[in-house]
Structure 1
Amino acid sequence: MSDPLSFAVPTRFDGARDRVAVVVPGVGYSPARPLLHFARSVLLQHGWTVQELWWQIPGGFAQFTVDERIAWVERRVSEAIEAEAGACRLVVGKSLGSLACGIAADRNILAAWLTPLLTIDHVAAALRRATEPTLLVGGSADKVWDSRIAASLGHEVLEVPAADHGLELADDAAGSVDVLRRVVSRLDRFVGSLGR
């Protein structure tokens, strides 16, 4: 599968050189968007070096099979992890990025998944295999979030009532800011619990 229009531009923010976190975007949710922007801030405050993965979704991506989408995401995330020469110890991913759950599980990498695609068998199976500390964050109004699956995986879970796939509340801007604060606070506690 050739995709010359896709690319990854890693952006680094330096902290500890032996503690690198890779931030993985969603389809239309770049590292500049609030959840991932503040995730980067949390990581830096805890002394991590952060590599943000930026990508352009290739034309025709909507017609890719699930397996092709998984392969596309896994290739980019693997390249980002391998570029860190063994220093990548944490992945923070949003939505589409969660298709790389298997990479994190198989390489024993800590993870925080924001709105993971729990309704895709590959993602749920990978999360069942994951043995390192993992945080799952989703909203009860998100069609790709499944409360029952999330609770069954044995990981830390933050479910936000009525939040959608963007972890926002419909027609409630102030309430959405409160949700963002809650998610960032939980991510801060999770990252802080990982130690040095």
Structure 2
Amino acid sequence: MNVREGIVKGYKEMKVPYAFLNKTENPKGLAIILPGMGYTVKSPILHFATGAYLNRGYNVLHINYEYHTDLYDHFTYEDLKSALATDVMTVLHETLRDADFKSYYLVGKSFGCLAMPEALNFHSLQNAKTVWLTPHLKEKNIFETMLNSQNKGLCMIGDKDSFYNQESLEQLQTNKNINYFIPPEANHALEIDGQTLDSIDLVKRVVKMINEF
């Protein structure tokens, strides 16, 4: 596997690392991974999803913003949302300026999902398939994007996740472009509290669904 790392200056000139991964000279497409606040690309689902895309012949772009570090301690939640939007779009412009992949996936986890509405306006990603992992269903820009999305999508969120909202979900499920998987008892990590082996089985199922989507 080849890894090309880089850094851009994003929101307020702060550094935003990214990494391009590939295993083939002739990729089928590109999967872009937007991790959560603390759920990084090294966390189970995103780690194995990355491997699944690479094994399918896709290149993978990790956008590794570092909002969980003390550099961002003084940021408000609104500051962080502004930073996320700016940082993701800056990396996309830097890395995909001249790209011409045949197929795109946009995969967001939790906080990373907040960048997906704007990212989908990027010229290369307007027809991207979307994977929404534990999105905050009551965030206005996420809710409206998912409700009106013409992109094929997959959303997974457990009913024990603090971001889960039954009312929002019922409305979102009227859009048949997005399929939903709601694992019972699953928390925000898409794991089951106190059940290690069941959690492993659930992570395996989630990654399998991502791989087959």
Q: TM-score, normalised by structure 2?
A: 0.79
- 7, 12, 17: which one aligns with 2:16: 7
> Structure 1 64/42 Cα, relative in aligned 2: closer, same or farther at 3 Å?
same
- SS in structure 2 of the partner of residue 143 of structure 1: coil
Alignment counterpart, residue 103 of structure 1, candidates 109, 115, 118? 118
- Cα RMSD, aligned residues only: 2.1
Q: What is the rounded CA distance, in whole Å, between the counterparts of 2:165 and 2:100 in structure 1?
A: 32
Give the secondary-structure state (helix, strand or coil) at the position aligned to 1:106: coil
Q: TM-score, normalised by structure 1?
A: 0.85
Residues 1:14 and 1:141: Cα distance change in structure 2 (over 3 Å): same
Amino acid at match of 2:44: P
Give the alignment partner of residue 164 of structure 2, picking from 145, 164, 168. 145
SS in 2 for 1:160: coil
Aligned-pair distance for 1:81?
A: 2.6
Which of these two proteins has the greater Rg computed from alpha carbons? 2
Matches within 5 A, 1:1-196: 2=12, 4=14, 6-15=15-24, 16-17=26-27, 19-57=29-67, 58-60=71-73, 63-65=76-78, 68-82=79-93, 83-84=95-96, 85-87=98-100, 89-107=104-122, 108=126, 109-153=128-172, 154=175, 155-190=178-213
Separation in structure 1 between the aligned mates of residue 100 and residue 90 of structure 2, nearest angstrom? 13
What is the CA–CA distance in structure 2 between the aligned matches of 1:147 and 1:86, rounded to whole Å? 39
The change in CA–CA distance for 1:96 and 1:106 in structure 2 (over 3 A counts) is: same
Distance across 2 between alignment mates of 1:71 and 1:17 = 32
- The size of the alignment, in residue pairs, is 187
TM-superposed deviation, 1:138? 0.6
- Structure 1 residue runs of 5 or longer lacking an equivalent are 191-196
Unmatched runs of 5 consecutive residues or more in structure 2: 1-10
C-alpha distance in structure 1 between counterparts of 2:91 and 2:31, whole Å: 10
In 2, are the aligned partners of 1:20 and 1:87 still within 8 Å (CA)?
A: no
Q: 2:30–2:60: 8 Å Cα contact kept in structure 1? A: yes
